[in-house]
Amino acid sequence: MATFIYGKVKRKNNIFRVIETEEDVYNTSQLNLVGVEYNPATIIENEELYKVSQFSQSGYSFDFLDNELNSVNHDQITRRDLTKLSFICTVQNNLYFFQIINSSIFISKKWFSIDELTLETEKPIITVNPFADAIYDKHSDTLYFKRLTAAQKIFKGMDQLYKEATASETDSFLQSDFLEVDSNFNNSSVSVLNRKRIALVMETLNNLSDPEKQAVYSYTSEYSQVVFEDGKFKIETDDDLKFVLWGIQQRFYTTPIGGEKRVANSIISI
């Protein structure tokens, strides 16, 4: 079955046909698409992948993935537009391999072929990375990726999977009835990482009953280094806020052997 490479040109909405080849661009026999459902609180290992299941329903997909693919419905890209590619997509069977095109991928230097030993000039080339920035499995309707920062360049809006709390949301959180915030600590004192944590815990708190909230506060007070009096955590620094946010995310635990108190750097639901 033929393999097609398509391309998205900057400032154009169309996806263009670039190359058709009978060769596989990617070695799918060694491809292990097993991912961890994306969660900002989860840090994956180098060999692991994030995934977004039911991607076509996520709001981040687009027609190229959602519709039945037919190469004749895509115009052949022009030579001029090849220098304006924002990403390419290699389609092998039901797998769509996306690669961002940047200056490091687009090579415009003098080079010679080992086979032909002829010096080439004015013939820029585009290199294909051994591993794509994002892979969509149409059969399972699942998107796989390693870095959200890369995936969101292809699928606009995906940064909302890891959004920061807005200024008003941060202010609202700091006014929560379980916090006693020092007068010198305000919205501008909150770090970017804590703003991202606030965006996560706001949803967590909204899904907890009042007794569950009290249980979380009690659990947090047992582990955190923050003063807890009269049902309120005293927040004087960004670190104080971080410990409380960790507690709401239930990141603290005690080792069964040794009884050492620890905080989990990453969370994966099992």
Q: What would the pLDDT profile of 162-173 be if each residue is shown by its tens digit?
A: 788 889 999 999
Confidence of residue 119 (pLDDT cuts 50, 70, 90): confident
> What pLDDT score does 16 carry?
96
Q: For the chain, where are the E strands, in sequence order?
A: 3-9, 15-21, 35-37, 49-53, 85-92, 95-100, 106-107, 111-112, 119-120, 125-126, 134-137, 142-145, 179-181, 228-229, 232-235, 252-254, 261-263
What average pLDDT score do residues 194-200 get? 90
Q: Does the structure show a pLDDT above 90 at 270?
A: no
Mean of pLDDT over the chain: 90
Question: What sign has the CA pseudo-torsion 204, 228, 262, 146?
Answer: positive
> What pLDDT score does 92 carry?
92
What average pLDDT score do residues 20-25 get? 90
Paired sense of beta strands 106-107 and 35-37, if any: unpaired
pLDDT tens-digit readout, 95-112: 999 999 987 777 777 877
Q: What angle do CA 220, 182, 238 make, to 5 degrees?
A: 55
Q: Does the structure show a pLDDT above 90 at 27?
A: no
CA 257, distance to chain mean position in Å, is 35
> What pLDDT score does 162 carry?
76
pLDDT tens-digit readout, 127-175: 888 899 999 999 999 999 999 989 999 999 888 787 888 899 999 999 9
User: Is 157 in a helix, a strand, or coil?
Assistant: coil
